[in-house]
Structure 1
Amino acid sequence: MNQNFDIIIVGGGAAGFFTAINIVEKNPKLKVAILERGSEVLSKVRVSGGGRCNVTHACFEPNELVKFYPRGEKELRGPFHQFCSGDTVEWFSNHGVELKIEEDGRMFPVSNSSQTIIDCFLQTTQKLGIAVLTGQSVQSIFKKDNCWKIETQKENYIAEKLVLATGSNPKIWEMLQTFGHAIVNPVPSLFTFNIKDSRIKELPGVSAIVSVKVKDTKLTSTGPLLITHWGMSGPAILKLSAWGARILFEKNYQFTIFVNWLNDLDAEDVEKILKDLKQEHAKKAVSKKSPFDFPNRLWESLVLASNISEETKWADLSKIQLQNLVSQLTNSSFQVNGKSTFKEEFVTAGGIDLKEINFKNMESKLHENLYFAGEIVNIDAITGGFNFQNAWTSGFIVASNF
């Protein structure tokens, strides 16, 4: 027995719910269903932002916002002019959820709980009469006459329009390939670096504002770096992992990075500062206190790595030791040996080739009445609420064209 709907949305995540709600709010007569393969919906929303849900980012200018997307920068410019982060704030406010801005620009519900977002979506879908059907793993998709036929292991569904919001689901990508869609091979994005190195072994929890570059590539990044038990994390590293997702995959996650612990100071500047310190603090031990704006423990570690003993006084620094210290401060080399997933926020670079999508309405260029929302397409962002913003924007644009 077939169940008939006007529109079926496959995927009960952020993009799927946002699309469904916006469709029915604009077209109350349409019969819409969300099919979710798992036993519960919105599971990624639940864990995002450490359980607080990083809804979006306080970057309200579309041409600036696109710069946070390693893949999709060009394509998202038009969509963001239609629905940007300010529109997201207003949308949630209209649905009873107030957002707040944190120091780093990330935006969360005032409640500090992702449950607020989940409740908003569940209550709104219920109010609008949207069918939310769980345990519906799609087995096949057919184009039949002017309709789409979707078979799950439980039911058959027929709909005039089909929206796929299945995120990084390889099974759905395979089905789309049979429809002639090209899939850009998925690789991990947003990961931390595994590094075993005596200089940082005793420093988990220490952070500094740095610039980092990957040897033999054009990849560079600046921002906070956090030393962890397994290596390095923090925004500077996560940005590198996102922009370098394909390059680092090809290197099998074995590569060298150079860290400038002083971010914007170059070797020449630092050498001058150290020579001045040599004059001013002649009788003090070099290792005792960091003269720069980063933790003493890190300073001490870099001093020892420069072959300077704990007792060595500034006056006794040899020319070679001084050069070593300049090098450790501005160009520390670390060998990366593998990666670790960043919290539960697993993001992949890859998905439907962007050339095959009409970004005015998120419709497939190959098949009429087939639409895409969220991470199923080859768009991904750095951490900070940007991946959710792509989900909201693409969902809104799909909904605006019915």
Structure 2
Amino acid sequence: MSRNIVIVGGGAAGYFAAANMDGLPAGVSVTILEKSNKTLSKVKVSGGGRCNVTTSTDQVGALVKHYPRGEKQLRNLFKAFGPEQVRAWFEQRGVALKTEPDGRVFPASNDSQTIIDCLRNEAQRLGVKVQYGAAVQAIEKVGAQYELLLANGEKLMADYLLLATGGHPKAAAYSWLTDLGLEIEAPLPSLFTFNIPDFPLVSLSGTAVPNAEVKIAGTKLSHDGPLLITHWGISGPAVLKLSAYAARELAGKDYQFQVLVKWDASWNEDLIRNWVADNRSSQAKKKISNSPLKPLTQRLWAALLEMAGVDGEMRWADLPKKMANKLINSMVSMDLTVKGKTTFKEEFVTAGGVKCGEVDFKTMQSRKFEHLYIAGELLDVDGVTGGYNFQNAWSGGYVAARDIVSKCQG
């Protein structure tokens, strides 16, 4: 008996599922429906065109901490198919991988096309068909099957259906899923940089510090890590991670809020106050401008002095208490006014989507609809930068594919 497996979405999750449909009985077809004219477009541009495939973090407890949403549900998924299995999967198919010092894993070729070619070759070997310009407008359950209505008026029937369309910033984009009966968590942007109009440090664009702490004023929300000064505000992993974990709170503030920057996460006010006091006695005759505290660069130190009203030619012995207090504050708690956000490169990530409770993460099958599966960023799951969003996509796609194959074999 012929049966149809339909995958909606030709991105990372959908394509990886298709590439893992080996072992299907004769007469079972697999078709990817892609609304645009190309598949794996996000894989192509990710990591600056290199594709951050996954992470070297294999311990599940540590791995799930990199997901602001979905941490609990992903435990079972990653136990079934985690980063170690992803790396092995690609390497077994001839893709050499390399791990960078920060734990990110890339193809040794430094070219995302290597990953794309591997996935396409594997899907082609398995006889997977790809239909382009196939935007799904509606899904209806008809008996044991699913009827899909495409934007061009075409209707398709599916015995097994995997939804892997990725995230979308507008709630209206999920209407075809709510019409089916799935519950949606309102979509919001995640992983963005902070815009700071009239930024006092704009002249230092390109300056980075290795481990700053960034905190949303008036909350307990903070993150530390590398921070980059840009011509529009601040960016870098510390900011991006904070934007992900605080995505809903910041949306509620319409992206207008105060942020406090500590230029080194290990500092505290007492430590810096003692350092200043020590310099006033032991470095009394030295120019203050010649004594930046690491990891501050000379230029950043000069800018902090200027903001505190300290003349660079001033000696430590002559530093007034009022200026010293301003300087200390600018080092451990610089108050900046954020007005808006900017998408980080091409890596737009959405918080929100199909609620996690709708899916059994051991199989990725819908709890309401038999033979309907959901994987990837279409779910209310999102990770920080470092290969975590692709890991979720590969894992979900793989587990869904193997469950479908198992059911077809049975």
TM bracket (short chain):
over 0.9
Q: Which amino acid aligns with 2:254?
A: N
The equivalent of 1:194 in structure 2 is 195
The equivalent of 1:386 in structure 2 is 388
Where 1:287 maps in the other structure, the secondary structure is helix
Distance 1:184 1:281, change over 3 A: same
The equivalent of 1:61 in structure 2 is 59
- Paired with 1:203 and 1:234, the residues of 2 have a C-alpha distance of 14
1:294 Cα deviation after fit: 2.1
1:216 Cα deviation after fit: 1.5
Moved over 6 A (4+): none
- Paired with 1:123 and 1:392, the residues of 2 have a C-alpha distance of 16
- Please give the per-residue CA displacement for 1:130-180, whole angstroms capped at 9, x wherever unaligned: 001111111221211211111221632212110000012456621111122
Contact 1:146 1:160 in 2 (8 A): yes
- Please give the per-residue CA displacement for 1:64-121, whole angstroms capped at 9, x wherever unaligned: 1000000000000111111110111000011111211111111100000000011111
TM-score, scaled relative to structure 1: 0.96
Where 2:288 maps in the other structure, the secondary structure is coil
The equivalent of 2:176 in structure 1 is 175
- Paired with 2:241 and 2:383, the residues of 1 have a C-alpha distance of 9
Aligned pairs for 1:104-143 within 5 A: 104-143=102-141
- Paired with 2:54 and 2:386, the residues of 1 have a C-alpha distance of 7
Where 1:367 maps in the other structure, the secondary structure is coil
Which consecutive residues of structure 2, in runs of 5 or more, have no partner in the other structure?
A: 405-410
1:323 Cα deviation after fit: 1.5
Contact 1:5 1:33 in 2 (8 A): no
- Paired with 1:322 and 1:226, the residues of 2 have a C-alpha distance of 25
Aligned pairs for 1:209-224 within 5 A: 209-224=211-226
Distance 1:198 1:237, change over 3 A: closer
Where 1:187 maps in the other structure, the secondary structure is strand
The equivalent of 1:329 in structure 2 is 331
After the TM superposition, which of the residue ranges 287-296 and 40-49 deviates more from structure 2? Answer: 287-296
Q: Which amino acid aligns with 2:367?
A: K
Q: Which amino acid aligns with 2:157?
A: I
Q: Which amino acid aligns with 1:286?
A: I
1:191 Cα deviation after fit: 0.3
Where 1:132 maps in the other structure, the secondary structure is strand
The equivalent of 1:27 in structure 2 is 24
Distance 1:285 1:367, change over 3 A: same
1:364 Cα deviation after fit: 0.9
Q: Which amino acid aligns with 1:155?
A: E
The equivalent of 1:367 in structure 2 is 369
- Paired with 2:123 and 2:294, the residues of 1 have a C-alpha distance of 54
Which consecutive residues of structure 1, in runs of 5 or more, have no partner in the other structure?
A: none
**Structural RMSD (CA):** 1.3
The equivalent of 2:407 in structure 1 is none
Where 2:89 maps in the other structure, the secondary structure is helix
Say which of 89, 93, 96 aligns to 2:94: 96
Q: Which amino acid aligns with 1:68?
A: H
Contact 2:97 2:106 in 1 (8 A): yes
Q: Which amino acid aligns with 1:100?
A: K
Say which of 296, 300, 307 aligns to 1:294: 296
1:5 Cα deviation after fit: 4.7
The equivalent of 1:319 in structure 2 is 321
Where 2:159 maps in the other structure, the secondary structure is strand
- Paired with 2:367 and 2:34, the residues of 1 have a C-alpha distance of 25
TM-score, scaled relative to structure 2: 0.94
- Please give the per-residue CA displacement for 1:192-228, whole angstroms capped at 9, x wherever unaligned: 0001345312100001121111011221100000000
The equivalent of 1:340 in structure 2 is 342
Q: Does 1:155 align with 2:157?
A: no
- Paired with 1:196 and 1:139, the residues of 2 have a C-alpha distance of 41
- Paired with 1:177 and 1:200, the residues of 2 have a C-alpha distance of 46
Where 2:290 maps in the other structure, the secondary structure is coil
After the TM superposition, which of the residue ranges 271-280 and 250-259 deviates more from structure 2? Answer: 271-280
Give percent identity, aligned residues only.
Answer: 45
Q: Which amino acid aligns with 1:372?
A: I
Where 1:157 maps in the other structure, the secondary structure is strand
Contact 1:288 1:300 in 2 (8 A): no
Number of residue pairs aligned between Structure 1 and Structure 2: 398
- Paired with 1:228 and 1:270, the residues of 2 have a C-alpha distance of 26
Say which of 37, 52, 55 aligns to 2:35: 37
Where 1:53 maps in the other structure, the secondary structure is coil
- Paired with 2:308 and 2:265, the residues of 1 have a C-alpha distance of 19
Say which of 255, 258, 261 aligns to 1:256: 258
Distance 1:52 1:301, change over 3 A: same
- Paired with 1:308 and 1:205, the residues of 2 have a C-alpha distance of 24
The equivalent of 2:75 in structure 1 is 77
Contact 1:89 1:98 in 2 (8 A): no
Q: Which amino acid aligns with 1:95?
A: R
- Paired with 1:311 and 1:149, the residues of 2 have a C-alpha distance of 76
After the TM superposition, which of the residue ranges 147-156 and 136-145 deviates more from structure 2? Answer: 147-156
- Paired with 1:245 and 1:303, the residues of 2 have a C-alpha distance of 33
- Paired with 2:307 and 2:268, the residues of 1 have a C-alpha distance of 19
